[in-house]
Amino acid sequence: MKRYLVLEDGAVFAGKAFGAMTNTLGEVVFSTGMTGYQESITDQSYVNQILVFTNPLIGNYGINFDDNESLEPGIKGVICHHLARRPSNWRNQQSLGDFLTDHQIPGLQGIDTRELVRHLRSAGTLRGMLTDDVSDLPAIVAQLKATNPTKGSIAAVSTKSVYPNPGYQRNIVVVDFGIKQSILRELAKRDCNVVVVPYNTTAKQIENLHPDGILLSNGPGDPMEMISAIKMIAEVEKHYPVFGICMGHQLFALANGAKTYKMKFGHRGFNHPVRDLASGKTYFTSQNHGYAVDAASVKETQLTVSQVEVNDGTVEGLRHKQYPAFSLQFHPDAAPGPHDAASLFDTFIKLVDDQKEAHHHA
Amino acid sequence: MPKRKDIHKIMIFGSGPIIIGQAAEFDYSGTQACLALKEEGYETVLVNSNPATIMTDNQIADHVYIEPLTVDSVSRIIRQEYPDAILPTIGGQIGLNLAVALAKTGLLDELGIQLLGTKLDSIDQAEDRERFKELMQDLNEPVPASQTVATVDDALAYAETIGYPVIVRPAFTMGGTGGGICHDAAEMATIAANGLDLSPANQVLIEKSIAGFKEIEFEVMRDAADNAMVVCCMENFDPVGIHTGDSIVFAPNQTITDREFQMLRDCALRLIRALKIEGGCNVQLALDPNSYQYYVIEVNPRVSRSSALASKATGYPIAKMAAKIAIGLTLDEVLNPVTGKTTAQFEPALDYVVCKIPRWPFDKFTKANRHLGSQMKATGEVMAIGRTAEEALQKAIRSLEIDAKDLILPAAQAADQASLEEKLTHAQDDRLFYLAEAFRRGYTIDQVHALTKINDYFLDLVAHLVELEKTIQTHKQDVPTLQVAKENGFSDQTIAKLWGVTANEVRTFRLANQIHPVYKMVDTCAAEFTSATPYFYSTYDHENESHRSKKPSILVIGSGPIRIGQGVEFDYATVHSVRAIQSQGYEAIVMNSNPETVSTDFSVSDKLYFEALTLEDVLNVCDLEQPVGVIVQFGGQTAINLAAGLAQHGIKILGTTVKDLDAAEDREVFDQVIKQLDLKQPVGLTATTPAAVLAAAEKIGYPVLVRPSYVLGGKAMEIVYSQTELEQYLQTNAHATVDHPILVDAYLEGRECEVDAICDGHQVLLPGIMEHIERAGVHSGDSMAVYPPQSFDADIKAQIVAATEKLCVALKCIGIMNIQFIIHDHQVYVLEVNPRASRTVPFLSKITGIEMAQAATKVILGQSIADQGLTPGLHPEPAMIHVKAPVFSFNKLDDVDAFLGPEMKSTGEVMGSDVTFAKALYKAFAGAKMLLPDNGSVLLTIEDADKQRVLPLAQRFARIGYRLLATSGTAEFLKQHGLHVEVVDKLHETGTNDILDAIKTKVDIVVNTMGHDYQKNSDGFVIRQTAIEHNVPLLTALDTVDALLTSLENRSFTTQAL
């Protein structure tokens, strides 16, 4: 069946449909990762977005149920050059097409994805619609221009109720802005007793959970929408070690008076080199963000830039000058992507343990 | 970190002659490294014995030495140049071993010379089996369990502890001879016993078999500041068990999840960090297809064939970056030359699929053992890029320059079920075609997987293409089907075959329906950043990114994969042609399919199309680029073969016209030209019946040179001196038929020589005459040759020059031409003409200083010889003497007869230069690894016909203190002439192995002229094979022996009684 991608600037890409037979609307973004389509598709940070894979072949190792990053993917569509005919991997449990059908996600293949990426690269991120009917293009374009697909995304994907991810060692409260399960896996590996709370949890509610540390998760959309969370962070950072990842990083910045901005087409992929400014070391990181922290705005705050992207200088990490709090724009939890920065979880754990120790002796 | 200021002059080693396992990739890496160091302002000294390389050009390094890569020779250069440092990791294993050997002599310490890049200790740790195993244990990285044992009982006991299947690898045998895989104790008992017997050390390694695992390779880089990255991950189509150099390889990895990928990536980075590599490194891993279990197979602590492939597959220039790392720069401070914006600390993202297929020499070595295993057998490789894996695979197949241009192989179609399954189970070079045939016959993927262990995903690519074959066949002239076919890489030619029309008709139909390829850029970043890399591949997709420039352009066709007869020499000529085109104000566009070469470095030309070199693919590029014309004279036979088709489509072939190219290649037309010019050529006749052959010989007069027009191995060409001999030849060697006529030529005894001439239509420039050392019967590519000629007087040279001038003008050569002559009775006879650059071009260019490919290109573009400031005629001869020696790869191939004949067998060449012929010869032999002791022993096994000729040679061996060993007949003959000879028994006479034991233990050189013994069990063949297996120098032509003696005599004292 034919299916089209219509962009808000009127560009149309015609290809073949796969996955669910529904029309959807979302922000069109691309990822340059060559593996990990399953993790990306199930990453809640992609909620209300249509994801284009630059790797020309997707679905080649199928889908397995261990590598999901969320139970209910909120992505609005998957676009690839070519869907594999025969997935092959020992853990393969379902084909990508069937998985998308099950989760009501439409797919589009057989378009020149490189052309689309080049288009997005010069036009910047665009709103788009996956549809099988392009008879009234002006109407579609008008609808796209009138919609903000990512607005309210965090509220939609964040957990509605508090739930535990039990362990023994440290009490960590994780604020869910659209959490990737890999973050919980990393905490579990380090034997944390985790309580996951909704995005709008107040500082007081968190205090009542007696945490040893707080982790601010990744999530979709514009950080400026999270007014209550920004307030919460400004309060809790005074008392507890804080670790922000991706959205959590941007909120940490905002809570301390820095500013964020929307990037032209964002960073999505695994090959972004990041330099740790203290050690000078570089590592490759897993990234998925359309907003970033304005470096100039950091100067006026109690924060220091601790990491930058090697090529474009984007702020990739912040550290509080006074409190045991830091944040990362990229995903040290990887999944998908390189594990090079996984030790930054240990950095957080050390902050937590040091603080515990200090309290113990205090 | 800023680059080092304490060093100024850096020495680099090349990898020597092209052999199997060490091909053009090291010319590419060496050239890149030299240029990178120059760019950073260092003075460079390059040593390589291989003249056929770009890296040995004066523009590439500041001081170029074409000298043997031996400790002795390089030490001399070091004491002359006093480099501050050596970069040893660029010239393959040869370069690395040389650096290690030099360090051991203490010379480097004595002169305070540093080794740049990866430290020697790290190299040793990666290469020493035991140390590597220890390191892996320390790092907790799994390696297949293994142990060396000396008895069958120990072998059985160890196998029991690690579990079957296991691999038995005899120690110190060539190409894994005598080893094998054992599935149970019974097999083990037999194979281990055999392996122990064959191993000179009486040791075998018992290793847990991981055959069938996925083979995944990482190209990794690291700098001194510990920044590390993966340039490329590649996945082998063929599972573990076949050498990666002999495997079909895809990039990026195709069948592993992110979790598996990151696990293996972590491992690769742990290894490069643990080994403290500073530069590039190749990590080979094996992954269980059914679990997370993986094993480290090996680590190569240097740039390699795989790194060249990865560079071309991603656009990321590994060798260049490795050189920059070696002088202290870090990855995050060097710019990525592809984007010009990002740093070199960047892991490339691919938005296409790359397929590499090895190119094997079995079209030349038809009797060789074609089974693939742990010993690499391919001489070269091709790479293709597509937007689907199917497209990449099919483009790679048609790049191979073999008979098959797609998955349809008549031999596979004719195979019965048993042989089909045998071909699937025990992989040979042509397994791919048998896979396709199995699917055509209805085998399921599961069935084929059971036979091959190849991953289902890869098998499905082939199955898909076979399905499409059927669809295409049943949908003739159907546009949507054609579109799908093209997206999956089907050529016009294959579609034509399936539609029952001509390729040209498909092309016309295709273009009429607006189905044409677009060209996409290789930019390292999947279009995330703007790049201006002039590096493109074709695909049937939507947006075209390659735009014709306003400058007039010229397309140069490269020479495709390295194979016997078409080596790196042609890449040299291609690159030089590009330089000349640019100097004349044109844009130079290159098309080639070989990832190992300098010509496929995108920085060499104005635009690179990485494409198959078929008519369709070249026409497609011409359609887009509308070049002024195409140059075909430098890409060997590959390019020449395209000329006629291109001309038919209205593409201008620059230089010699297609009609005139044909005149040189068509025997009848050529004979006419020779007659008209009043030149001489050996009388030749063709006969299709035995009687006619005899009559022809009678007419020409004995001796005659007879050969079937169709040669299939063996010694098919022979010189016969009488009718009796000819009758015998006809009975045993060749059967004349209408399809396979026999060629009978007058045999002229004499010296052969060749010239490469540049002609502008009026005037002719001969840079030099190269005299062959071996007489007729040995292919010119396998002959040693000397420049300037040693046995031609002024008159002969004048005759050669006159004949060359006449031929060039008469054949309307515009550009370059190669002519072979024989000098008989002081008369010059023309043997053959090749209307293109030959393999001697780089050799003569370097010696004479005339950049022949550039001069020829300029002529082609309209600048006459005089306009170029060159003087027509024979270039004045230099004072130095230069000798070219061929190099062979026999020890990598089983069952290939090392006897030299009319079919070319060498894979590479070396050059030796010095002030006397003898010294130059010595260096050439040294470069070819023919280093002999002062007092050694020589085994002579000579055919009766050669006995008179061998006597003076034997006497000379005796005079320089060599012991003579010979079989009874030869020994008797030599004893009669007063020589002291030790008799060794022939194999078949006595059934003993004395002669083979002698080769293994006490012989330094074997001279064997028993060319009639080409059966695998014949004495001559077995003797040659044994010499090859034990690395004993072997000579099969007495002229080479003569030359060798000349070089040996020169360095020894003559001992003679008064």
The domain limits of chain A are: 2-149, 154-361
Average the pLDDT over B490-504 and give the result: 98
Q: Which helix (H) or strand (E) holds B648?
A: helix B636-648
Residue A60 and residue B457: Cβ atoms within 8 Å? yes
For residue range B930-963, list pLDDT tens digits in order: 888 888 999 999 988 889 999 999 999 999 999 9
Give the integer Cα–Cα distance in Å for B436 and B410: 12
Q: Which CATH superfamily is domain B931-1051 in?
A: Methylglyoxal synthase-like domain (3.40.50.1380)
Which fold does the domain A2-149 belong to in CATH?
Glucose Oxidase; domain 1 (3.50.30)
Helix, strand and coil content of chain B, in percent to the nearest 5, comes to 40, 20, 40
Domains of chain B, residue spans: 9-118, 145-208, 214-301+304-348, 357-515, 531-654, 683-746, 751-878, 931-1051
Cross-chain CB nearest to B351 (options A54, A84, A273): A54
Residues B110-114 have a mean pLDDT of 96
Q: Given CATH 3.40.1500.10, say whether it is the number of domain B214-301+304-348.
A: no
Sign of CA dihedral A113, A119, A125, A126: negative
Q: Does B261 touch chain A (CB under 8 A)?
A: yes
pLDDT at B830: 95
Residues at the binding site of B are: 129, 169, 175-176, 208, 210, 215, 241-243, 284, 298, 300, 707, 746, 748, 752, 777-780, 820, 832, 834
Domain B751-878 has CATH 3.30.470.20: yes
Query: Annotated binding residues of B for Mg(2+), as ranges?
Result: 284, 298, 300, 820, 832, 834
Chain A closest CA to B520's CA: distance in Å? 9
In this prediction, residue B239 has a pLDDT band, given cuts at 50, 70 and 90, of very high
Does the fold of domain B357-515 match that of domain B214-301+304-348?
no
Long-range contacts of B1013-1021 (CB under 8 A, 24+ apart): B1014/B713, B1014/B714, B1014/B715, B1014/B897, B1014/B899, B1016/B367, B1016/B895, B1019/B941, B1019/B986, B1019/B987, B1019/B988, B1019/B995, B1020/B899, B1020/B941, B1021/B897, B1021/B899
Question: Which of the two residues, A25 and B1026, has the higher pLDDT score?
Answer: A25
CA dist B650 to B27, B612, B630, B647, B723, Å? 36, 20, 11, 5, 52
Q: Which CATH class is domain B531-654?
A: alpha beta
**Window from B398-407, B436-445, B739-748 with minimum mean pLDDT:** B739-748
Query: Does the domain spanning A154-361 belong to CATH 3.40.50.880?
Result: yes
pLDDT of residue B685: 87
Q: Which residue has the tokens 């400790």?
A: B71
Catalytic residues of A: 246, 331, 333
Q: How far is the C-alpha of A334 from the C-alpha of B755, rounded, in Å?
A: 63
Of the partner residues A34, A66, A87, the one whose CB lies closest to the CB of residue B349? A34
pLDDT of residue B366: 82
Termini Cα distance of chain B = 71
Which of B227, B257, B266 faces A91 most closely, judged by CB atoms? B257
Q: Which CATH architecture has domain B9-118?
A: 3-Layer(aba) Sandwich (3.40)
Question: In this complex, do B261 and A35 lie within 8 Å of one another by their Cβ atoms?
Answer: yes
What are the b/e assignments for B232-246, b being 16+ CB within 10 Å?
bbbbbbbbbbbbbbb
Mean pLDDT of chain A: 96
Taking alpha carbons only, the member of A202, A195, A205 closest to residue A170 is A195
The torsion angles phi and psi of A352, rounded to 5 degrees, stand at -65, -50
pLDDT at B884 over 80: yes
Query: What is the reported pLDDT for B589?
Result: 98
Phi, psi of B794 (to 5 degrees): -60, -35
Which superfamily, per CATH, for B145-208? ATP-grasp fold, A domain (3.30.1490.20)
What's the pLDDT at B713? 40
How confident is residue B197, by pLDDT bands cut at 50, 70 and 90? Answer: confident
Band the pLDDT of A359: cuts 50, 70, 90: confident
3-state secondary structure of B591: strand
CA quadruple A164, A169, A175, A178: dihedral sign? negative
Residues of A in contact with B259 (CB under 8 A): 66-67, 335
pLDDT of residue B712: 42
Spatial strand order in the sheet of B249-251: B294-300, B279-287, B214-222, B228-236, B249-251, B353-359, B380-386
Contact between chains at B456 and A88 (C-beta distance less than 8 A): yes
Tokens 């993927």 sit at which residue? Answer: B445
Write out pLDDT tens, residues A118-176.
999 999 999 999 999 999 999 999 999 999 999 999 999 999 999 999 999 999 999 99
Q: In sequence order, what E strands does B649-760 have?
A: 684-687, 704-708, 718-720, 742-746, 751-760
- Compute the nearest-CA separation of A33 from chain B (Å): 7
| Single pTM value for the model | 0.95
What was the pLDDT predicted at B861?
97
- Cα B39 versus chain centre, distance: 30
> How close A212 comes to chain B (CA, Å)?
30
CB-CB neighbors (< 8 A) of A85 in chain B:
460, 464
Rg, chain B, Cα only: 29
Q: Which amino acid is at A87?
A: P
CB-based contact B460 A88, cutoff 8 Å: yes
Beta strand pairing call for B1034-1035 and B1005-1008 = parallel
Question: What class has domain B357-515?
Answer: mainly alpha
User: How much is the pLDDT for B714?
Assistant: 41
Give the range among A356-360, B58-62, B540-544, B864-868 with minimum mean pLDDT.
A356-360
pLDDT tens digit sequence for B682-718:
988 888 888 889 999 999 999 898 887 655 444 467 7
| Residue B487 confidence (pLDDT) | 98
Q: Which of B362, B302, B315 is nearest to B342 (CA)?
A: B315
- Greatest CA separation found in chain A? 72
Residue of B45 and B549 predicted with greater confidence? B45
Closest CA to A253 of A152, A154, A328: A328
What's the fold here for domain B683-746? Answer: Dna Ligase; domain 1 (3.30.1490)
Look at residue B603 in the predicted model and tell me its pLDDT: 92
DSSP codes, B403-435: S-SSS--HHHHH--HHHHHHHHHS-BTTHHHHH
**B466: pLDDT strictly greater than 90:** yes
Residue A235 scores a pLDDT above 60: yes
List the single residue in A36, A86, A273 with the smallest CB-CB distance to B332.
A273
Q: For residues B597 and B381, what is the distance between their CA atoms, to the nearest angstrom?
A: 10
pLDDT of A17 > 70? The answer is yes
Q: Does the pLDDT value for residue B9 go beyond 50?
A: yes
What pLDDT, on the 0 to 100 scale, is given for residue B990?
67
Per-residue model confidence (pLDDT) at position B203 = 85
Query: Does the ipTM exceed 0.90?
Result: yes
The β-bridge relationship of strands A57-58 and A82-83 is parallel
State residue B172's pLDDT score: 65
Mean of pLDDT values over B167-177: 69
Q: β-strand B228-236 against B249-251: which pairing, if any?
A: antiparallel
- For residue A284, the model assigns a pLDDT of 96
**pLDDT tier for residue B733 given thresholds of 50, 70 and 90:** low
Instruction: Give the type of residue at B905.
Output: K
Mean pLDDT of chain B: 92
Report the pLDDT value the prediction gives residue B1011, as an integer from 0 to 100.
79
Which residues in B888-988 belong to E strands, given as ranges?
A: 908-914, 937-941, 963-967, 981-984
Q: What integer is the mean pLDDT of A208-223?
A: 97
